Amino acid sequence: MDYLNALALITNYILLPGLTYGSQLALGALGVTLIYAVLRFSNFAHGEIMSFGTMVCILFTWLGQSYGINFGFLPTALLFLPIAILFSVIYCILLERIVFYYYRTKKSDPIVFLIASIGVMFFTAGLIRFIIGPSDQSFNDGVRFLFTVRDFKNFTGLNEGFGLKTTQAITVITTIALCFLLFWFLNKTRTGKSMRAFSDNEDLALLSGIDPNKVVLLTWVIAGGLATFAGVLYGLDKVYKPFIFLQMLLPIFSAAIVGGVGNPLGAFVGGYIIALSELFVTFAYKKVLGYILPEGLGPDSMMQFLSTDYKFAVSFIILVIVLIIRPTGIFSGKTL
């Protein structure tokens, strides 16, 4: 029984939140890594594109709710996700046409792209605050829990338990489905293969008759779509607040780099590595050890490696270690 209690504790406080947060990071990192693979620059505006898509989704959700539309026990926002994706894809294409196209035809250095993307980031952040304001918005109107901690405890009779939020289930399932779809697209379809070819060797791809503009546009479409998914799922699960997307850039980039930047599988795995290690390192193991160790040996102190204040430092530390030991990342992407 004691092992079960310890397992329930870890599931409730580390595994479930970690998998959910990891999925959100993975979706964000996939977008970053795709842009890097095809366009060869780190897109700092990615966090704000997530925020932009989420904002559009919230605005349409409010509009829908005022007409009495809802989605049963699922959040209404999911109904309006396609519209939000459409808007953020259009926004991404506009960015490409107005900002990045110019530098692409000039064949500018990646650093110039990077600086331009920072400019885009600030512009988008301003636009978002202008439209929806800086304060936080909760827009999750579905059923909050599939089962709560109390339900679980009553059902199993354990001392500890875990609850499953509807949004956690939606996030993990959606992420895995999207990743399958993306990998199928990249590996099996003709367009996907042309994208990979373009990423591998631009000149050879041009010689084989691949249209670069088409590939670039497609990349922006996929990145914009993934960003909106990531933002909306994060907002549903936690809260939508324009300020947090700048904070999220660090873990997203760590995830992409740890997995191997430019490698989609790496971004996917990297998201979970960053999220779970943040939680494992800052968790207090007092109760867990109390259950696992024999009677009387349970520790009195909190058994916490790092205070939760240092949560973001964990992504930094992993990033530094990976860059020193294995600069190409776990799944050998490109070196930065």
Partner 1 sequence: MKKLFTTLLALCLLNTASFSDVKVGIILGFTGPIESLTPDMAAGAELAIEEVNKSNHFSLGKVSAVRADSTCIDSSAATAAAERLITSDKVNGIMGADCSGVTTAILQQVALANGVVMISPSATSPALSTVEDNNLFFRTAPSDARQGQVVADILKDMGLKNIAISYVNNDYGKGLAASIETNHKAAGGKVTISAPHEDDKGDYSAEVGALAQAGGDILVVAGYLNSGGKGIIQASLDAGAFDQFFLPDGMIGESLPKDIGSGLNGSIGTVPGTDSPGDKKFEEMAEAAGFKKGPFAGESYDAAALMLLAMEAAKSSDSQKYKSKIMDIANAPGEKIYPGELKKAFHLIMEGKDIDYVGATAVELIGPGESAGNYRQIEVKGGKNETVAFR
Total residues belonging to the chain: 336
- Contact status: 155 vs partner 1 (CB under 8 A): no
12 near partner 1, judged by CB under 8 A = yes
H-run or E-run covering 164:
strand 164-165
Q: Write out the DSSP string of 67-134.
A: TT--BTTB-THHHHHHHHHHHHHHHHHHHIIIIIHHHHHTT--HHHHHHHHHHHHHHHHHHHHHHH-S
* Residue 15 within binding range of partner 1, rule CB under 8 A: no
Using the contact rule CB under 8 A, the part of the chain among 112-120, 134-142, 199-207, 256-264 near partner 1 is 134-142
154 vs 208, beta carbon nearer partner 1: 154
Give how many residues touch partner 1 by CB under 8 A: 39
- As given in the structure block, the two tokens for residue 277 are 């290690």
Site string for partner 1, 311-330 (x = CB under 8 A): x-------------------
Nearer to partner 1, 21 or 198 (CB): 21
What part of residues 237-296 is at the interface with partner 1 (CB under 8 A)? Answer: 238-239, 241, 243-244, 247-248, 278-279, 282-288
Task: Give the DSSP H/E element, type plus range, for residue 31.
Answer: helix 16-39
First-to-last C-alpha distance (Å) of the chain: 49
Q: Are 44 and 110 in contact (CB under 8 A)?
A: no
Residue from 165, 266, 322, 328 touching partner 1 (CB under 8 A): that is: 165
Tell me: does residue 13 bind partner 1 (CB under 8 A): yes
Question: Binding partner 1 by CB under 8 A: which of 154, 189, 208, 308?
Answer: 308
- 156 is a contact residue toward partner 1 (CB under 8 A): no
Q: Does 150 bind partner 1 (CB under 8 A)?
A: yes
Minimum CB distance to partner 1 smaller for 78 or for 246: 246
- Judged on CB neighbours under 10 Å (0-12, 13-18, 19+), 279 is buried
Q: How far is the CB of 163 from partner 1 (least distance, A)?
A: 5
Q: Are 124 and 49 in contact (CB under 8 A)?
A: yes
DSSP state of 271: H
Torsion over CA: 62, 64, 69, 74 (sign)? negative
Q: How far is the CB of 309 from partner 1 (least distance, A)?
A: 7
Q: In DSSP terms, which residues pair with 147 in a beta bridge? A: 164
CB-based contacts of 185: which residues, under 8 Å, 6+ apart?
A: 191, 192
* Alpha-carbon distances, residue 139 vs 28, 62, 312 (angstroms): 20, 8, 26
Only segment of 79-87, 144-152, 205-213, 252-260 that touches partner 1 (CB under 8 A): 144-152
Task: Kindly provide the b/e burial profile for residues 218-227, where b requires at least 16 CB atoms within 10 angstroms of the residue's own CB.
Answer: bbbbbbbbbb
Task: Name the minimum Å distance from CB 328 to partner 1.
Answer: 30
- The CB-of-308 to partner 1 minimum distance in angstroms stands at 4
In the complex, the smallest distance separating the C-beta of residue 3 from partner 1, rounded to whole angstroms, is 17
Closest separation in Å from C-beta 168 to partner 1: 9
Q: Which of 234, 253, 291, 331 binds partner 1 (CB under 8 A)?
A: 234
Q: What is the DSSP string of 174-187?
A: HHHHHHHHHHHHHH
- Among the listed ranges 79-87, 124-132, 146-154, 262-270, the one in contact with partner 1 (CB under 8 A) is 146-154
- Residue 154 in the binding site for partner 1 (CB under 8 A): no
- The residue ranges that bind partner 1 (CB under 8 A) are 9, 12-14, 17, 21, 134-135, 138, 144, 148-150, 161, 163, 165, 234, 238-239, 241, 243-244, 247-248, 278-279, 282-288, 302, 304, 307-309, 311
